[in-house]
């Protein structure tokens, strides 16, 4: 069946003219019709627009367009509900944006279109990317394809669920504290968070601007490399995008791990990791050794301060970024007698509870009298966390850790205790604080129920190429990425 192909497998068939882009797009739509009432990954789909894009690609293919020039020619790729696509809605799974439609295409959208992708669907997420389960979506949660009673992770949970359920050939999400890697781990797919500055964020609704990064969720590492290559690069519209060269990530895949030094951060391997996750992780480390990697224990002494630092820095930035949702220029407005009550009413009714919680926390840590004690101190601890990474990367090429301490949890399990929900991000957060790159890929399953387990590799800044090489070598030596959820 067409929908079972990887992105790379599909491009081979498109290039050989064995299938058309319309057939590929239709295969996704048929699959969505068959399974998405169970998975609930999609917020909406503009089917006519998607098929129209596919027809345009087929016309270009007929005129001789090639995948050498446009590596994603004809490939259906879905987008998290925070990318601006001209003329299409973007809601960030929030009520506050109302019937907003984007007046322009963001840079990632433009680059994917230039590479020939067929962009479709708005994937469900935690409201404004705040959450680890999609339970904070104002439009209902998505379900984990491996066990519908469980969450797919978050905040890019719709992206991960759709890739795992084979409803698209790849999906683009964002990662502020693990929002690509954690759902990828929980759904058994590959999720890559590039280095801060690697991919432009112009036209991406901001959550925490010093942490947010755009990245792909895919069925395997090669697909991840293909999508990253299409999106990466400097953009004059985003002053935080870095003007360094973009390597050919796909061409550089291959090879074994001989001579590769992997660091095992001892502070990550603490009590509280689920025994099955720990066993799968230990086996993955052994597998890397078999493939030629040298394993070195490293120390990252500030690991335990990552979550506290993150929830000060991220909420402070969010309180500033989300000030724009005020009911004046766009989105839903709830009237008031004066502008002040209009703001309060609009934001009180438009934002969900987690978003309110984080804006209020962020406002507090920035407020007069508390700035030094909370925000400034957190920025200093952030420096210490970054130094941990710099020191580790003096001796090793990449770090190897579990992505999350446990497999997917049941819906509702952590909703009453936000702090417990935050603590489940402990292994993914420090990578965003340090601004480096990370990837999660499948490394096994729990036994009963059968749920995916994620392996995380953290690389040097702008070291995506080496990170993908290591991930690819491990993946190709193991069967995990070929397993599919039964729906």
Partner 1 sequence: MSDNDFDIQYVANLARIALLPEQEARLAAQLGDILGYVKKLEELDVTGVEPMAHAVPLANVLRTDEVQPSIPQEAALANAPKQANGLFVVPKIVE
Residues with catalytic function: 80, 155, 179
Contact residue for partner 1 among 68, 329, 394, 447 (CB under 8 A):
329
The minimum distance between CB 231 and partner 1, in angstroms, equals 17
Least Å from the CB of residue 247 to partner 1: 18
Residue 415 interacts with partner 1 (CB under 8 A)? Answer: no
User: Which residue from 17, 266, 380, 410 is in contact with partner 1, where contact means CB under 8 A?
Assistant: 380
Q: Which of 42, 120, 146, 374 lies at the binding interface for partner 1 (CB under 8 A)?
A: 374
Q: Phi and psi for 297 in degrees, rounded to 5?
A: -75, 135
Least distance in angstroms from the C-beta of 323 to partner 1: 8
Q: Residue 378 Cβ, how far from partner 1 at the closest point, in Å? A: 6
Instruction: Give 39 or 381: the residue with its C-beta nearer to partner 1.
Output: 381
Rounded CA separation 75/447 (Å):
34
What CA–CA distance (Å, rounded) separates 360 from 348? 12
Query: Token pair for residue 193?
Result: 């968070």
The total of other beta-carbon atoms located within 10 Å of residue 111's CB is 20
How far, rounded to the nearest angstrom, does the alpha carbon of residue 327 sit from its chain's CA centroid? 29
C-beta closer to partner 1: residue 49 or 330? 330
Task: List the one residue out of 209, 116, 130 whose CA is nearest residue 170.
Answer: 116
Of 132 and 309, CB closest to partner 1: 309
CA atoms of 182 and 8, how far apart (whole Å): 23
* Distance in Å, CB of 182 to partner 1, minimum: 19
337 binds partner 1 (CB under 8 A): yes
305 touches partner 1 by CB under 8 A: yes
371 binds partner 1 (CB under 8 A): no
Among 363, 371, 413, 484, binds partner 1 (CB under 8 A): 363
332 in contact with partner 1 (CB under 8 A): yes
Segment 419-438, which members bind partner 1 (CB under 8 A)? 419, 422, 433-436
Cis status of the peptide bond prior to 256, with omega within 30 of 0: no
Can you tell me the distance from the alpha carbon of 340 to that of 343, in angstroms, rounded to the nearest whole number?
Answer: 5
447 is a contact residue toward partner 1 (CB under 8 A)? no
Residue 112 makes CB contacts below 8 A (sequence gap 6+) with 72, 77, 119, 172, 230, 231
Of 7-15, 63-71, 323-331, 394-402, the segment contacting partner 1 by CB under 8 A is 323-331
Of residues 13, 357, 450, 484, which one binds partner 1 by CB under 8 A? 357
| Strands (E) located in 176-239 | 190-193, 213-218
Of the residues 95, 356, 450, 484, which one makes contact with partner 1 according to CB under 8 A: 356
DSSP 267-288: TTS-TTS-HHHHHHHHHHHHHH
| Shortest reach from residue 455's CB to partner 1, in Å | 24
CB atoms within 10 A of CB 243: 9
> Which position among 44, 46, 65, 364 is part of the footprint of partner 1 (CB under 8 A)?
364
Q: Which is nearer to partner 1, 195 or 469 (CB)?
A: 195
Under rule CB under 8 A, residue 367 binds partner 1 = yes
Residue nearer to partner 1 on the CB measure, 98 or 233: 98
CB of 14 or CB of 437, closer to partner 1? 437
In the list 34, 45, 279, 308, the residue contacting partner 1 (rule: CB under 8 A) is 308
Minimum distance of partner 1 from residue 336's CB (angstroms): 7
Please calculate the CA angle 156-381-200 and round it to the nearest 5 degrees: 40
Asked whether position 338 contacts partner 1 by CB under 8 A, the answer is yes
Q: Residue 347, interface with partner 1 (CB under 8 A)?
A: yes
Please enumerate in sequence order all residues whose Cβ is within 8 A of that of 449, keeping only pairs 6 or more positions apart, or say none: 146, 147
d(CA 176, CA 208): 7
Residue 287 contacts partner 1 per CB under 8 A:
no
Of positions 349, 391, 395, 482, contacts partner 1 by CB under 8 A: 349
Between the alpha carbon of residue 350 and those of residues 80, 127, 209, 334, 360, the distances in Å are 20, 11, 22, 8, 15
According to CB under 8 A, which residues from 149 to 188 bind partner 1?
Answer: none
Contact with partner 1 (CB under 8 A): which of 37, 271, 335, 394?
335
Which range binds partner 1 by CB under 8 A, 7-15, 74-82, 155-163, 373-381?
A: 373-381
DSSP reduced 3-state for 178: coil
Q: Between 226 and 265, how does the x/- string for binding to partner 1 read (CB under 8 A)?
A: ----------x--xx-x-----------------------
Tell me how far CA of residue 330 lies from CA of 13, 63, 254, 346, in angstroms: 43, 42, 48, 11
Can you tell me the distance from the alpha carbon of 70 to that of 11, in angstroms, rounded to the nearest whole number? 10
From the DSSP assignment, how many helices (H) and strands (E) are in the chain? 15, 11
Strands 398-402 and 452-459: antiparallel
Per CB under 8 A, 327 contacts partner 1 = yes
């Amino acid at each position: 069946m067409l929908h079972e192909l990887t992105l790379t497998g599909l491009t081979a068939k498109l290039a050989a003219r064995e299938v058309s882009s319309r057939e590929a797009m239709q295969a996704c739509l048929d699959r969505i019709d068959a399974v998405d009432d169970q998975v609930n990954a999609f917020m909406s789909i503009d089917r006519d627009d998607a098929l129209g894009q596919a027809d345009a690609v087929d016309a270009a293919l007929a005129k001789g367009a090639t995948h050498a020039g446009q590596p994603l020619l004809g490939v259906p790729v879905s987008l998290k509900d925070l990318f601006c696509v001209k003329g299409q809605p973007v809601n960030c799974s929030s009520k506050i944006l109302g019937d907003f439609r984007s007046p322009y295409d963001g840079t990632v959208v433009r680059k994917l279109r230039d590479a020939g992708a067929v962009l479709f669907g708005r994937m469900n997420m935690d409201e404004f990317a705040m959450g680890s389960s999609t339970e904070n979506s104002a439009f209902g949660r998505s379900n984990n394809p491996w066990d519908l009673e469980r969450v797919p992770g978050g905040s890019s949970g719709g992206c991960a669920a759709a890739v795992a359920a084979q409803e698209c050939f790849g999906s683009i999400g964002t990662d502020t504290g693990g929002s690509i890697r954690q759902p990828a781990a929980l759904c058994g797919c590959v999720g890559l968070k590039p280095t801060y500055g690697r991919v432009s964020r112009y036209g991406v609704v901001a959550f925490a601007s010093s942490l947010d990064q755009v990245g792909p969720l895919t069925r395997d590492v090669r697909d991840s490399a293909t999508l990253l290559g299409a999106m990466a690069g400097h953009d004059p519209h985003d002053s935080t995008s870095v003007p360094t060269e973009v390597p050919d990530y796909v061409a550089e895949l291959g090879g074994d791990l001989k001579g590769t030094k992997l660091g095992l951060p001892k502070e990550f391997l603490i009590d509280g990791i689920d025994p099955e996750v720990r066993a799968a992780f230990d086996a993955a480390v052994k597998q890397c050794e078999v493939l030629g990697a040298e394993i070195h224990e490293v120390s990252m002494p500030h690991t335990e301060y990552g979550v506290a630092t993150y929830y000060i820095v991220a909420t402070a930035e969010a309180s500033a970024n989300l000030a724009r949702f005020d009911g004046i220029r766009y989105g839903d407005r709830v009237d008031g007698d004066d502008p002040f009550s209009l703001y309060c009413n609009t934001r009180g009714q438009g934002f969900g509870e987690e978003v309110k919680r984080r804006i209020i926390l962020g406002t507090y840590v920035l407020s007069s009298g508390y700035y030094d004690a909370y925000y400034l101190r957190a920025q200093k601890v952030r420096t210490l966390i970054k130094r941990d990474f710099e020191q580790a990367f003096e001796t090793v090429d990449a770090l190897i850790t579990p992505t999350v301490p446990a497999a997917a949890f049941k819906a509702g399990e952590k909703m009453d205790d936000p702090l417990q929900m935050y603590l489940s991000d402990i292994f993914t957060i420090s990578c965003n604080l340090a601004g480096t790159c990370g990837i999660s890929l499948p490394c096994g399953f729990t036994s009963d129920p059968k749920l995916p387990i994620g392996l995380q590799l953290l690389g040097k800044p702008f070291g995506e190429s080496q990170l993908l090489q290591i991930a690819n070598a491990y993946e190709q030596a193991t069967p995990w990425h070929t397993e599919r959820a039964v729906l």
